[in-house]
Every structure is written in structure tokens, then in C-alpha cells.
Amino acid sequence: MKALTKTEFQFPGQKSVYHGKVRDVYNINDDIMVMVATDRISAFDVVLPKGIPFKGQVLNQIAASFLDATADIVPNWKLATPDPMVTVGLKAEGFRVEMIIRGYLTGSAWREYKNGCRELCGVKLPDGMRENERFPEPIITPTTKADEGHDENISREEIIAQGIVSAEDYEVMEQYTRALFQRGTEIAAKKGLILVDTKYEFGKRGGKVILIDEIHTPDSSRYFYAEGYEEKFAKGEPQRQLSKEFVRQWLIDHNFMNRPGDVMPELTDEFVASISDRYIELYEHIVGEKFVKEEATEDVAARIEKNVAAWLAAQ
């Protein structure tokens, strides 16, 4: 199947479109958002040159499943999924902050810790921790949401002091972040997985803070397999994980971290297929059902356009 890496739709009532690293978001009458999960993949804040077949469908369906599974504890933007690669929902004014919550010391946090950092986004970290060790309590390490380039770490105090988010709204976002992570952790545990860390985005609509964007997908989250975690941790071995980290690690192994002078390595067809397989594997683990590939009997973009137009017309 050919990966969908670009969309240029003109839906009825369309006011604007935003092309993100992975998602294309269409604004309908300043009220509805049509979010298309493309097959683009990004790492180190750069979009890789090849798309990953079925990645968009995987991301969209995992996110939709978790939005439904958490709607009782946190209000969210989702209205419907008219196509396997599309979610439509309520437009909200997004906060310029991503709420990252970490249950374990790994990834970029571990890289900083290993280099001597003992405070992350205003959160003090204990001495003597090891890679992949569980924090006594999950920690929230927000970042600013950059339009271009790197998101920057920022503390709760700086966010409020700079007026990026009001103290009142930030408190709600913090409560929601912890509640979502707790629910995600419980769901993952039932599937033999550990939700290691993740990020959430929030916006405001009608004076109310709501959850927006994706949730608990392999692009926004890291999962370890629960089986073997303790044994591997005791031996200091790398954990088996389901996340995008293996793509980052492959790039690091090929001397690419998006530093000045770094050259993007060639993504072979075999590697692209292996990424697709890993995304499908995560879907089947975390959702707990067989992934059904939406085989393209027609042009994928044409299918999406038809399905979204039909949903909009029915409103």
C-alpha cells in the first residue's frame, strides 16, 4: 500500500488548514476540526522522507479508542471517526503547552539525568536512579509548544509567571493529566504493558478546559512489556518496548539526531515495513483486538474526502 504523506482537501465550510508534523487539521466554520492522521513519521523534530503504510490508521484508531475510554473522567474534543484515518471534533483554543507525564526515568529524561541533571522542569529528581527505574510518583515535565524547531522544557512556575496558562487552568490541566495517566496505566496493565510516559494537549472551549489531539498512541507515548521488566531492570538490560523510540534509536545508530551537519540516512523499504509492523503490533496489544488493514480499493485521499464530506453533510 502507498503511504498517504500529503493532503490538500477543500471541505465544505473550510476556513483554514494546518499541516503538522504528522496530522493535517482542517478548520470547518471555526467550529469543527477535521484531523487527518497521515502516514508521515517524525523524529528529532523532523519529518522523515518516507511515509509508513497504515501508521495513520493505527494512530487514529488508538487515539479514538482512548478518547472514548477516558471521556468519563476528562471531557474531550472527539465527535466521530468518519474514516479510519480521520477524527472530527470540536474546535478549541489550544494551550501553548504540552503536558508530559513520566512514570519511569527513560528517554530524554534519562539522557539528561545521566549527564548530571537533577531537576527537570522544576521537578527535583532523587540521586542514585537508574535507567528505566520507576519514579516514586509520576512526574509532570511540561514543554512549550513550538510551531517550528524544538519544544523547550519549562516549569509549572514559569508557565504561570509568563502568562502562558493561568494558574487556575494549569491546575485543571495537571489534575486531568494525572487522571488520564492513571487510567491509561490501568488499561495498559490489563494488556500486559506498562505505560511509561506520554503527553497530552489541552484547549479551551466555552470557558471549559478539554482534552484535544491524540492520546496514548505510539507517537505520543512509550510502552514497556510488563513481562520481563523487573528481570531486565535488575540486569541493566534494555527494556522491550512498543514506541517510536526504536526509530529514534535507529537514527542515532546512523548518526542522525538533527544536529547541524547531520545527514538523514536512507530509509530502506525493509525498515519502513518493519516500522509499519511495529505500529500494528502496538495497536493489537493496546487495543486488544486484531488490526484490520483498510486496504485501498480506491485512492486513499479520495476515500477520506468522500467519507468526511458525507459526515459534514449529515450534520
Decide if pLDDT at 239 tops 90: yes
Residue 52 to residue 277: CA distance in whole angstroms: 10
Say what the pLDDT of residue 1 is. Answer: 66
Nearest partner of 92 among 201, 209, 203, judged by Cα:
203
Q: Would you say residue 296 has pLDDT above 70?
A: no
Specify the higher pLDDT residue, 68 or 246.
Answer: 68
* Cα dihedral 302, 304, 309, 315 in deg (nearest 10): 170
* Rounded Cα distance, 271 and 197, in Å: 25
pLDDT tens per residue, range 196-228: 999 999 999 999 999 999 999 988 999 999 999
Average pLDDT estimate for 77-98: 97
Q: What is the pLDDT of residue 17?
A: 97
pLDDT digits (tens, 9 = 90+) for 145-174: 766 656 789 999 999 999 999 999 999 999
Write the CB contacts of 57 (distance below 8 Å, at least 6 apart in sequence): 37, 84, 85, 293, 294
pLDDT confidence band for 129 (50 / 70 / 90) = very high
Neighbour count for residue 131 (Cβ, 10 Å): 18
Q: Are 195 and 185 in contact (CB under 8 A)?
A: yes
CA distance 266 to 10: 33
HSE, side-chain direction, 13 A CA sphere, residue 122: 12
Residue pair 100/143 in contact (Cβ under 8 Å)? The answer is: yes
What is the share, in percent, of the chain residues with pLDDT greater than 70?
97
**pTM for this structure?**
0.91
More confident of the two residues 295 and 32: 32
> What confidence category does residue 297 fall into, taking pLDDT thresholds of 50, 70 and 90?
low
Residue 3 near residue 302 (C-beta atoms within 8 A): no
Name the more confident of 242 and 84: 84
Domains of the chain from N-terminus onward: 14-92+266-314 (3.30.200.20), 94-243 (3.30.470.20)
Nearest to 21 by CA among 213, 307, 227, 194: 213
Q: List 315's β-bridge partners, or say none.
A: none
pLDDT exceeds cutoff 80 at 177: yes
Residue 88 has pLDDT above 80, yes or no: yes
